[in-house]
Structure 1
């Protein structure tokens, strides 16, 4: 059967992740053929540096694919089948503020968790909604596959504010952890496993993992995680391979401390921020956070390589790396385009999949994906421990979206108070006031802010 060739728009064409996505798409043309790729970004200069290199890569490796980079919404969104969105409103300069402002108050600064994630979410909501509106105006039959962060807040915003939009919110963090699980087990691929999982984005647990013959793989993974976290056997003995940054090695190792809280399950690594926030604050450098690391290394290396390719007009010896985790998005696009019924972890409205949980919550669970989109798989009742944690975190996400929609200082303050990473209401207000000042021009005006006063002692 000849597969229909697809037209793709990458929204966030100036991202340092875009070249890796292009390389990944080229490696999968046999199962996901493409006739056209477009880039869209509101920063023309930044996008041009990435686009000039990607155009050369495409000309050399797949000249049959039409390529276009633009800042014009109509040009970008007309005649597309899929919008792959990974925007960062405020770029890394604002991520730096998200990380450093909380640390002033002894609170962890992180781009998707706690105050930093709330700050980033307040910037991201409007940007993602704008993309949806463009897509529905110019290509109403298209699907948006969104992996713009913070995914949990963005997903709640799209559910509440664009309820009929053809958008699927995804995250590759579980994919990365499952890849590590497959290495722990000695399997060729994470796709050799069938998983059951539930939670919120960056806030979930695996409950069952089996091989294709139905054999239970959980005991062996648990044994390893209890001692080493998700640090792989190769990493433990120092064998050469993909270089892992120290901060990520800490994250993978920290899972061994999260695991005992519920040894019937296996945890998502991001739970460390909620269960051990003081440990993360102690390790953080308030003057040099993850945003600084990215700007000093990834940003410089990717743009430098793209400029080199553009200058010499060939990508034969390109040092740009394929974004393997991004292959997840190809699986999702294929499932919709060709009705493959792929089983995938996606962020979807609960609607009874977790039978004792808020039906309007955006939960991360296994789904079967076909041409009509995702069909969530029932996961049954969840235990009181997880239910309590998730209810608190869902309240945070819903209050953030309500604060954005209503321009409510009060609700955003409440969201910060409810976050497990924030110690009290006084610190929450101090954080909020600082974040408002830092995000001028990015957040909607919070109209009731003048009514709130708390003694600062």
Structure 2
């Protein structure tokens, strides 16, 4: 009898997990999953139990023969897995709150994946993902690693450079969120939209937009300048673009570009929000409290609509669509983080990029876009340099390399401020950065 399909989800106690379960249920006819292992750490045990029991109820309601296993034993979860999905947060939301709050004291953006916060999330995450890669080599060498853990681009870069795993794809819900948003703007079905994406994770641009294969980019660019347009992502408010700027840029920015093209506006707003309602992490902690109370309800057997407020909309669509396309060798086009392989001329061949790819059983095949347009090329290259040096700092635990990474990030105003932020954040995250403190001592 053929072995059924096994998926291991690391960070299984996440509030996002019902999204993933919904995706597997919807696409069961294409991806006949038999074992789903949700794995977490001791601190996440209670959440794992709550969300795991909801997952079991969802599967039962759907009447599907999927066995859901809950475990704190990562090795058991990984053993003979076909796909490994990662959605974990080292240091939990408390660490994210520090990433967001400390830089604001220096008038610098505090954000999960950009600037100092993005650096420190990478420094905490990369050593853990590389440990997982080592275990995968031993326990499931043929498995695909589908990484949703932020900063997804930097994490994918580190896996490509510092592990022996080449079957890795980084995934983000921003491109699919942009597709959905544009479908809504144009009042057409999502399936009719195609965007040619190119750039990096949270630094991706839409080079062209098509409806039924016909370019509608000019129309979309005009709609994006409408003051009523409020952005594509729930957790990043849209403040509207200057029409002349957008026309001159001539490509679609993603919501995270607000942090680079409207830095002062975003920092001021974040400082105001942090004082009024707390940082985004503190808001999410309150949201999660509500969500887990909902998840506890034994009568609940669906993904609750309140999960959309969490900011991970379309995660299940993106994640399970990708897994299904690899498994079925579909050859459809999806934007993912993968090795560049010459697709974007201005980025090194071996680096991770976020680009539209044809998805096959052998993984993503990037669609060649050539050189990025001049107005966006330099910023993308600068962020790629930041990601590479940040990944090196995470692997070596070298203070000077971390300082270099933070200083060259365009959101950091000077080397002096970078050093002050770095010192305070290293101390704040000491528990989760053993490499730095082993080297220092």
Q: Calculate the TM-score normalised by the size of structure 1.
A: 0.88
Matched residues, number:
429
What SS does the aligned partner of 1:347 have? strand
Q: 1:318 to 1:332 in 2, by over 3 A?
A: closer
Q: Per-residue displacement from partner, 1:262-321 (whole Å, max 9, x unpaired)?
A: 432111110111222211111123441101110112x11221012222xxxx43577365
In the alignment, what sits opposite 1:56?
Answer: 57
Identify the residue that residue 173 of structure 2 maps to in structure 1.
172
Query: Structure 1 317/178 Cα, relative in aligned 2: closer, same or farther at 3 Å?
Result: closer
Equivalence for 1:238: none
Shift of 1:227: 2.1
Aligned residue in 2 for 1:319: 304
Deviation per residue, 1:153-181 (Å, 9 max, x gap): 10111111114432111111111011101
Q: Following the alignment from structure 1 to structure 2, what is the Cα–Cα distance between the partners of residues 5 and 449?
A: 45
Cα distance in 1 for partners of 2:243, 2:394 equals 35
Secondary structure at 2:38's aligned position in 1? strand
Identify the residue that residue 272 of structure 1 maps to in structure 2: 258
For the residue of structure 2 that corresponds to 1:357, the secondary structure is: coil
Distance 1:60 1:258 in 2: 52
Query: Are 2:367 and 1:377 equivalent residues in the alignment?
Result: yes
CA distance in 1, matches of 2:32, 2:89: 28
| CA distance in 1: counterparts of 2:325 and 2:121, whole angstroms | 30
Q: In the aligned structure 2, how far is the partner of 1:111 from the partner of 1:333?
A: 26
Determine the structure 2 residue equivalent to 1:120. Answer: 121
1:428–1:316 Cα change, 3 Å? closer
Deviation at 1:61, TM superposition (A): 2.3
Q: What TM-score do the two structures reach when normalised by structure 2?
A: 0.91
Aligned equivalents of 1:344 and 1:318: distance in 2? 24
Q: Counterparts of 1:261 and 1:395 in 2: how far apart (Å)?
A: 28
Q: Give the distance between the partners of 1:421 and 1:348, measured in 2 at CA.
A: 25
User: Does the aligned pair in 2 maintain the 1:5–1:33 contact within 8 Å?
Assistant: yes
Q: Name the structure 2 match of 1:305.
A: 294
Q: Name the counterpart of 1:19.
A: 18
1:455 corresponds to which residue?
A: none
Deviations 1:393-425 (A, max 9, x none): 111111111112222111111111111111111
Match status 1:160 vs 2:142? no
Partner of 1:226: 225
Distance in structure 1 (CA, Å) of the matches to 2:326 and 2:226: 40
Contact 2:103 2:421 in 1 (8 A): yes
Cα distance in 1 for partners of 2:245, 2:162 equals 36
CA 1:375–1:49 in 2, change beyond 3 Å: closer, same or farther? Answer: same
What is the match of residue 239 of structure 1? Answer: none
1:10 alignment counterpart: 9
Asked if 1:441 is matched to 2:440, the reply is: no
Aligned mates of 2:241, 2:3 — CA distance in 1: 43
In the alignment, the residues of structure 2 paired with residue 382 and residue 375 of structure 1 have an alpha-carbon distance, to the nearest angstrom, of 18
Q: Residue 409 of structure 1 contacts residue 448 of structure 1 at CA under 8 Å; is this kept in 2? A: no
Aligned to 1:83: 84
Q: Distance in 1 between matches of 2:426 and 2:366?
A: 37
Q: CA deviation at 1:231?
A: 3.2
1:263 alignment counterpart: 249
Q: Report the equivalent of 2:209.
A: 209
Map residues 335-346 of structure 1 onto 2, 5 A cutoff.
335-346=325-336
Relative to structure 1, the CA distance from residue 116 to residue 76 in structure 2 (aligned partners, 3 Å threshold; closer, same or farther) is same
Decide whether aligned partners of structure 1 residues 20 and 301 sit closer, same or farther in structure 2, where only a CA change above 3 A counts. farther
**Cα distance change on mapping 1:231 and 1:68 into 2, 3 Å:** same
What is residue 196 of structure 1 aligned with on the other side?
196
Q: Residues 331, 75 of structure 1: CA spacing in aligned structure 2 closer, same or farther, 3 A cutoff?
A: same
In structure 2, how many angstroms separate the alpha carbons of the residues matched to 1:160 and 1:30?
36
Tell me: CA distance 1:113–1:18, structure 2 relative to 1, closer, same or farther (3 Å). Answer: same
Pick aligned residue for 2:324 from 324, 334, 357: 334
CA shift for structure 1 position 62? 2.9
Relative to structure 1, the CA distance from residue 448 to residue 390 in structure 2 (aligned partners, 3 Å threshold; closer, same or farther) is: farther
Long gaps (5+) in structure 2: none
Asked whether the equivalents of residues 196 and 209 of structure 1 are also in contact (C-alpha less than 8 Å), the reply is yes
Q: For 1:40-51, list aligned pairs within 5 A.
A: 40-42=39-41, 43-51=44-52
Structure 1 gap ranges (5+): 236-243, 452-457
Contact 1:258 1:271 in 2 (8 A): no
CA distance 1:144–1:357, change in 2 (3 Å): closer
